Amino acid sequence: DTGVSQDPRHKITKRGQNVTFRCDPISEHNRLYWYRQTLGQGPEFLTYFQNEAQLEKSRLLSDRFSAERPKGSFSTLEIQRTEQGDSAMYLCASSFRESSYEQYFGPGTRLTVT
């Protein structure tokens, strides 16, 4: 399968712990997005990378959230000092510049903060 992959698929953590999620986009895709989705809601934009540069970050993203995309390949999303309100599905998507209208989504990482 050469689609977008995310790891882990599920994560349960205690409040106050740090967590890190990984996204591997489709190999030739230079654009990468992170979204958060809570139950019954649509995905909510978190951040956008073009190659290794983080070009956009949602105001909703507190300073506890950080994302990186070293060398413009895989990306990581870290949440520090997790809170119960961080419980959600974290989705990664990638696209190719010439067809940027079509984002390919991964299966997501479901985070539960207890």
Which residues would be at the binding site for other proteins (CB under 8 A)?
Answer: 4, 33, 35, 40-45, 48, 55-56, 58, 91, 93, 101-108
Residue 37 · residue 44 · CB < 8 Å: yes
Measured from the CB atom, is 57 or 80 closer to other proteins? 57
Tell me, rounded to whole angstroms, the distance of Cα 88 from its chain centroid.
11
CB of 70 to other proteins, least distance (A): 20
Measured from the CB atom, is 88 or 108 closer to other proteins? 108
The Cβ-side half-sphere exposure at 88, using a 13 Å CA radius, reads 21
CB of 50 to other proteins, least distance (A): 8
CB of 42 to other proteins, least distance (A): 3
Measured from the CB atom, is 54 or 80 closer to other proteins? 54
Report helix, strand or coil for 72: helix
Separation CA 40–CA 4 (nearest Å): 23
